Amino acid sequence: MTALAGSVDIPDRTNPGAGTERHRPGTGFERPNAAQLRLAAALLVLPPLFHLVSADLLTFALIWYAAATLIRSRATAFDRLMVSGGVLIGWTCALSLLAGYWPWGLHPVALAEATAVPLTAVLLLQGPRPAGRAQRPWVRLRRLVPTRDLALLLPAAAAVAFTMYPVVIRNATERLGLIISFEDLARHAALYDTILRVGGLTSLHKSEAAVSVTTGLDTYPQGSHLTLAVITDFLRGGTTQGPALAQMSLFILLSALTAAGLAVAVLWAVQRVAGRALRGWRGLALALPTAVYLVVAEVPQLQARGFLSEIFALGLFALLLALAIRPLSRFHEQVVALGALTVGISFGHYLLLPAVGAVVLAWAVMHRRNCFRHWPTVLATAAVTGLLALFPPYSNAKSAGSADVLTLPGSISPVGRHLLLPLVVAAFLALLTRSARANRSRRVALASLAAVSLLCYGVMEYQLRTAGTTSYFYEKMIHQLMVVGVICFSAALLPAFGRRVFAGPGTAPAPGARRSVRSRFRSGVPVVAVAGCLAFAVLSNAQPDSGKAGWEGSPGRFQLNGAGAHFKLAQRIAVLNTDHPQDGRLPVSLAGARAWGEASPDWSGVEDNLWLSVLNRNQGSTWELWAWAIGHRSAQEMADFAASRPSTPLRFYVDEGSPLIADLKALAAAGRLPDLAVSALHYENGDVSIRPVALR
């Protein structure tokens, strides 16, 4: 950890030279030292060895660590991990285009070696780091995790724990019950599972993916599914697909981790763009209420609708916005990071590309001198980024290539305006002050906030003029405004309150002297008090615009308690999935409620065939069965439907005691029933079992 241990805090670079750290002239190429050679050898040699002992996860950690050490800009260890993580996601999305054609697919060794080669090249060309003073181990550890990171890591850890807890404490069937009403996640799970099966993007394997992915979904932006599939391959050592329910359980865990990652990314961005305003433990005063706002008020609503791709892309967008406002100190690293993040965002959810373009343009304009000075790097990176970032919208043009898509309806939970609008207005007012406009970083923040606000207004006006009301995609744009608003509000803190408020104790300790415990306590009490008051204020207003006030009506409370989960329905689907008749018939469930809003404990039973097709890995070839079985069906309709599909025999599942069984027996006695297989679900003491029904 030597390279990371030498990290230092990022200063408040308010001067015009930010992001332009220059190399010493005349140094030329320097031979790598022994530590660099050892790391390069480890990158190239260890992945196959780790794979032989089923420890591919160590390869994952090694690559991430190596990528973090390549960042020479002034940054803490956590900064390096966040930036390198975003860059690696963009690289993985780009590499998937190559993986779609080579014979190894997404095998962890192939991905690791393809990533290790460029990392090794950069490592050897960089030359050794300047020699630093020898430090004692605890001093190096203290520099590795400075106070400003501790004030960030604590709320971030709390946000991750809050988001993951409802999922971690459940078993595989219960986890399915948590998301059974999130219809979109069924299709996301099918994409994830199919990418694992075919070894790459479904848009590059359409014929192989057709059986498990519905038509039109094979070109859907798949950056999130691809990333989760790659993580799964490293976890399992590139083995073949596991049992369907176990793989679904892992997907649900990784989806929750993606949502937690969004919260961590925004918290890191908030800390970074604030600069000196949140140095030391003062960062807790904003990080804590921000964490509460995200994981209690807004992120659970994104999860509840199954917006996996958008959550993934918003997290990368938060990283990109933070780097645009407060760039890395080395220009080449900054350009590469922005390019990689743009690629990752496009592969994840390309609806964010207009906002990304506006943010990157604002950064380029404010740093135009550096861009002109390094124009070969800028042009080369822009060309590669543009080609890669255009692939997802190009491949999906037939399915969503018209502006009319912006007016399509959809199920979505509105963002709470009573918290968001004051936040955005306050950020605007603070960024419009003279002191803010005199600072380049805050001009980028102002331009970004204005651009995203105008995009939201444009979509709103388009929907009002064409459809007469706002709908699905307008709320999607508001999600972008939420992320930008929170981050830009943090950037506006210093000019809003002035430097004296954030200056700390009036008398600074002498160089090398340690502050007394009393001094630390006195300076920490106001921070804790402010953080607690702000967190309580946010928690008291965390409910949607309508509903119970405060914590009682918050989406976070519902998520934590598992409200809305359908555990009995998940149990039924799991039992149906384990029933594999030897006759090769396709299963069709008519058990439970069959209409939206029907008074029944498992009214979401209208979706059981959708989830059953995901677990059976045949969603692409059975979507008609799901559509047919949504509503109530009579015995005659069952007979007619089975007769219309002679090449695909069916097995119907109904509840024991259902009148359908008596009606089917009557049709069979009259000789009007084709070859039909029926099984009944028997419920006893909370358990579900399946029994074949003899119709004749």
Task: Quick: pLDDT tens for 331-384.
Answer: 999 999 999 999 999 999 999 999 999 999 999 999 999 999 999 999 999 999
Percent of the chain topping pLDDT 90: 48
Indicate the average pLDDT of the chain.
Answer: 85
Handedness of CA 465, 467, 469, 474 (dihedral sign): negative
How large is the average pLDDT for residues 317-331?
96
Confidence of residue 137 (pLDDT cuts 50, 70, 90): low
In the three-class reduction of DSSP (H, G, I as helix; E, B as strand; rest coil), residue 107 is classed as coil
Q: Which residues contact 552 (CB under 8 A, 6 or more apart)?
A: 543
The pTM (predicted TM-score) of the whole model is: 0.91
Same domain for 264 and 396, yes or no, is: yes
* DSSP helix/strand/coil, 327: coil
What pLDDT is stored for residue 8 in this prediction? Answer: 39
Pick from 17-26, 127-136, 484-493: least confident: 17-26
Residue 4, pLDDT score: 56
Count of domains for the chain: 2
Lowest model confidence (mean pLDDT) among 55-69, 139-153, 365-379, 625-639: 139-153
Distance CA 321, CA 315 (A): 10
* Domain final residue, candidates 475, 494, 513: 494
Phi and psi dihedrals of 277, rounded to 5? -60, -25
Amino acid in the structure at residue 261: G
Based on DSSP, count helices (H) and strands (E) in the chain, helices before strands. 33, 4
In single-letter form, the type of residue at position 425 comes to: V
Task: Give the residue from 494, 515, 535 where a domain finishes.
Answer: 494
- Residue 183's pLDDT is 80
Rounded-to-integer distance, Cα 325 and Cα 272, Å: 9
Q: Last residue of some domain: 468, 494, 520? A: 494
Q: Cβ(72)–Cβ(337) under 8 Å?
A: no
Q: Name the DSSP letter for residue 616.
A: T
Residue whose structure tokens are 């790459």: 200
Phi first, then psi: give them for residue 647, nearest 5 degrees: -80, -15
Query: Which pLDDT does position 508 carry in this prediction?
Result: 46
CB 190 within 8 Å of CB 212: yes
Q: Do the beta carbons of residue 68 and residue 86 sit within 8 Å? A: no
Query: What is the extent of the structural domain holding 417?
Result: 147-162+254-494
CA distance 85 to 115: 13
Identify the residue with better confidence: 541 or 29.
541
Order of strands, edge to edge, in the sheet holding 677-684?
586-589, 650-655, 677-684, 687-693
Closest by Cα among 203, 666, 394, 634 to 195? 203
Q: How far apart are CA 145 and CA 7, in angstroms?
A: 9
The answer on 476 and 611 residing in a single domain is no
Q: HSE (CB half, 13 Å, CA atoms) of 645?
A: 18
Q: 426 and 322 in one domain?
A: yes
Point out the least confidently predicted range of 154-158, 243-247, 317-321, 595-599.
595-599
Say if residue 369 is in the same domain as residue 480: yes
Instruction: Identify whether residues 370 and 465 lie together within a single domain.
Output: yes
For residue 376, tell me if it sits in a domain. Answer: yes
What pLDDT was estimated at residue 599?
A: 54
> Is 575 found in the same domain as 476?
no
Does some domain include residue 76? no
Q: Are residues 404 and 301 in the same domain?
A: yes
- Residue identified by tokens 């388009």 is 462
Residues 6+ apart with CB under 8 A from 568: 177, 601, 602
Tell whether 480 and 605 lie within a shared domain: no
Structure tokens at 313: 């892309």
Query: Is 601 in the same domain as 483?
Result: no
Q: Is there a single domain that holds both residue 484 and residue 607?
A: no
> Are 481 and 628 part of one and the same domain?
no
In this prediction, residues 266-282 reach a mean pLDDT of 88
pLDDT at site 396: 85
Cβ neighbours for 538, distance < 8 A, ≥ 6 positions apart:
289, 292, 293, 296, 297, 419
For residue 184, give the DSSP letter: H
Task: Quote the CA–CA distance of 459 and 193 in Å, as a whole number.
Answer: 34
pLDDT band at residue 14 using 50, 70 and 90 as cut-offs: very low
Give the residue among 578, 489, 571 at the shortest CA–CA distance from 538. 489
Six token digits for residue 587: 């299963």
Does a structural domain hold residue 291? yes
Residues 486 and 629 in one domain: no
In a domain, 238, yes or no: no
- Would you say how long the chain is, in residues? 696
